[in-house]
Amino acid sequence: MEHTAQTIAEPSLGGFTTASTAAELAARLQAARARTLLLASDLDERQLMGPRLAIVNPPLWEIAHVGWFQEHWCLRYRAAGELAPSLIADADALYNSAIAAHDTRWELPLLPHRSVLRYLKEVLEQVLEKLAQQPDDGWPRYCAELAACHEEMHCEAFTYTRQTLGYSAPQISAPVPATSGPLSGDVSIPGGEYLLGASPGPDFVFDNEKWMHRVQIEPFKIARAAVSKGEYAAFVDAGGYEDSRWWSAAGWQWRCKAEAHAPVYWRREGGAWLERRFDTWAELVLHAAMIHVNWHEAQAWCGWAGRRLPSEAEWEQAAATSRDDPSGARVKRRYPWGDAPPDAAHAALYDAADRVCDTSSMPEGDSAWGCRQLMGNVWEWTADWFQPYPRFVRDPYEAYSEPWFGNHKVLRGGCYATSPALMRNTWRNFYMPERRDVCAGFRTCAIN
């Protein structure tokens, strides 16, 4: 593969920053690549293509797309949107998700797996060389962080794709979560004026987090923990999927069309509920956080239980503030427990164990208000539609946020397959409300 160099000026940094050093980004890119390769290393030719489903990509396509994205931003992107040539022929037609329509990805003349691996290796080597040669240049570092974030997100997608397709659990060494029982009750949070969103500064953030703005929140009570599988099973056993009273009109329409009578990976056997975890069926771990439910299912459980989903502002206030500074005007915590980087004591992140933790696990990760596992274990649905913050301006990666405003719901907090490097209290995830393949659960608020 030959790269034809062009002497086109790269764009100036503008307002796009990262506090990460070139060395830190090089290590992060290498770690993300190692995880990508590990997540696909045991898949055979048939599994690398997989069945045609609307909610997954062919793994072979997705692996190459990761390399395409890194090459696009770190090596090819130039001023005024111009692109230098790719290392491979027809790269954009094959692997640009904005051009290669989802339904066509199984028929495209994709690179063989061996060629994909060679492409990924060559791209990464050139990116690392560029970072080493230009360690103080802000634009290459910004693009490298964008590429690292993108690959880490796809590693999470590879993980839940393996669950969706019933492949074996990823071969990543991780401890089996210890059982620790339930965690019940609410904490009271005063609400009031709150500064929602990220503050300007040197740290990398996505455009949909920009910028901090004032919102008004009524006092509220939010659960100390996410809803557990046992709590959700009580709803199913009470006939919750057959009773339209608990569902919104859109949710009931989804339930009927999907013919859903229980969570997607559950089945009854001998009077007990079993769940499929990757390729293995096992009994429910009753106190573990509920996972693989969509927004409609979360909202229906709330209707049945007399609860509600939190707004994303409520969620962020519970995660990012302290009792003496509930507005976040002086200090907003980067993580629920403070500013110390996530580790196994604080949050279940980047853990490929085949089940989630009990809701009472990891007390060291509590927020200042006493909420547990606001970060990690399972993503948490919020009540809100994904919308831009006031005075939104899209970043150079135009397809990240803007196309999805208005028809996706916001999730917060990360899951067991999320990279710790991605996490912060202001980060917003977003999915269509009918998606239940993703690693999502929910926590609830009391109805005043």
The pLDDT tens digits for 35-63 are 999 999 999 999 999 999 999 999 999 99
Same domain, 82 and 204: no
Q: Is residue 216 part of a domain?
A: yes
Same domain, 33 and 85: yes
Domain count, the chain: 2
Q: Closest by alpha carbon to 321, among 195, 415, 221? A: 195
Q: Closest by alpha carbon to 68, among 39, 92, 46, 104? A: 92
Same domain, 147 and 251: no
What pLDDT score does 177 carry?
73
Q: Is there a cis peptide before residue 211, judged by omega within 30 degrees of 0?
A: yes
95-108: average pLDDT = 97
Rounded Cα gap, residues 381 and 433, in angstroms:
9
Tell me if 208 sits within 8 A of 388, measured CB to CB: yes
| 3-state DSSP percent of the chain in helix, strand and coil, to 5 | 35, 15, 50
Same domain, 435 and 366: yes
What pLDDT score does 11 carry?
44
Strand partners, 188: 221
Look at phi and psi of residue 185 and say left if phi exceeds 0, alpha if psi is from -120 to 50, else beta.
left
Q: How confident is the model at residue 179 (pLDDT cuts 50, 70, 90)?
A: confident
What pLDDT score does 178 carry?
76
Q: Is residue 14 part of a domain?
A: no
Same domain, 331 and 254: yes
Q: Closest by alpha carbon to 170, among 51, 67, 47? A: 47
Same domain, 252 and 155: no
The 10s digit of each residue's pLDDT in 281-319 is 999 999 999 999 999 999 999 999 999 999 999 999 999
What pLDDT score does 310 carry?
98
- Compute the half-sphere exposure of residue 358: CA atoms within 13 Å on the CB side of its CA: 16
115-125: average pLDDT = 98
The 10s digit of each residue's pLDDT in 210-228 is 999 999 999 999 999 999 9
Rounded Cα gap, residues 439 and 14, in angstroms:
35
- Compute the half-sphere exposure of residue 338: CA atoms within 13 Å on the CB side of its CA: 4
Taking the model in full, what pTM does it have? 0.95
Picking from 164, 191, 220, the residue at the C-terminal end of a domain is 164
Q: Is residue 9 part of a domain?
A: no
Residue 76 tokens read as 């090819």
Residue, of 4 and 404, whose pLDDT is higher: 404
Same domain, 447 and 411: yes
Q: Is residue 195 part of a domain?
A: yes
Q: Is residue 86 part of a domain?
A: yes
Rounded Cα gap, residues 400 and 240, in angstroms:
36
The CATH number of whichever domain residue 344 belongs to comes to 3.90.1580.10
Average per-residue pLDDT in the chain?
Answer: 94
Same domain, 318 and 379: yes
Q: Closest by alpha carbon to 172, among 14, 67, 30, 41? A: 41
Rounded Cα gap, residues 259 and 240, in angstroms:
13
One-letter amino acid for residue 345 of the chain: A
Q: Is residue 169 part of a domain?
A: no
Same domain, 190 and 213: yes
Same domain, 247 and 281: yes
Picking from 112, 137, 164, the residue at the C-terminal end of a domain is 164
Residue 162 tokens read as 């393996």
Same domain, 193 and 327: yes
Picking from 110, 133, 164, the residue at the C-terminal end of a domain is 164
Please state the φ and ψ torsions of residue 409, each to the nearest 5 degrees. -100, 150
Rounded Cα gap, residues 171 and 198, in angstroms:
36
Rounded Cα gap, residues 114 and 93, in angstroms:
20
Same domain, 323 and 441: yes
The 10s digit of each residue's pLDDT in 239-254 is 999 999 999 999 999 9
Q: Is residue 415 part of a domain?
A: yes
Rounded Cα gap, residues 411 and 434, in angstroms:
13
SS (H, E, C) 264-326: CCEEEECCEEEEEECCEEEECCCCEECCCCCHHHHHHHHHHHCEECCCHHHHHHHHHCECCEC
Q: Is residue 324 part of a domain?
A: yes
Cβ neighbours of 23 (radius 10 Å): 11
Residue 359 tokens read as 């809701």
Rounded Cα gap, residues 435 and 97, in angstroms:
19
The CATH number of whichever domain residue 76 belongs to comes to 1.20.120.450
Please state the φ and ψ torsions of residue 166, each to the nearest 5 degrees. 70, 25
Tell me if 25 sits within 8 A of 143, measured CB to CB: no
Structural domain including 124 reads 22-164
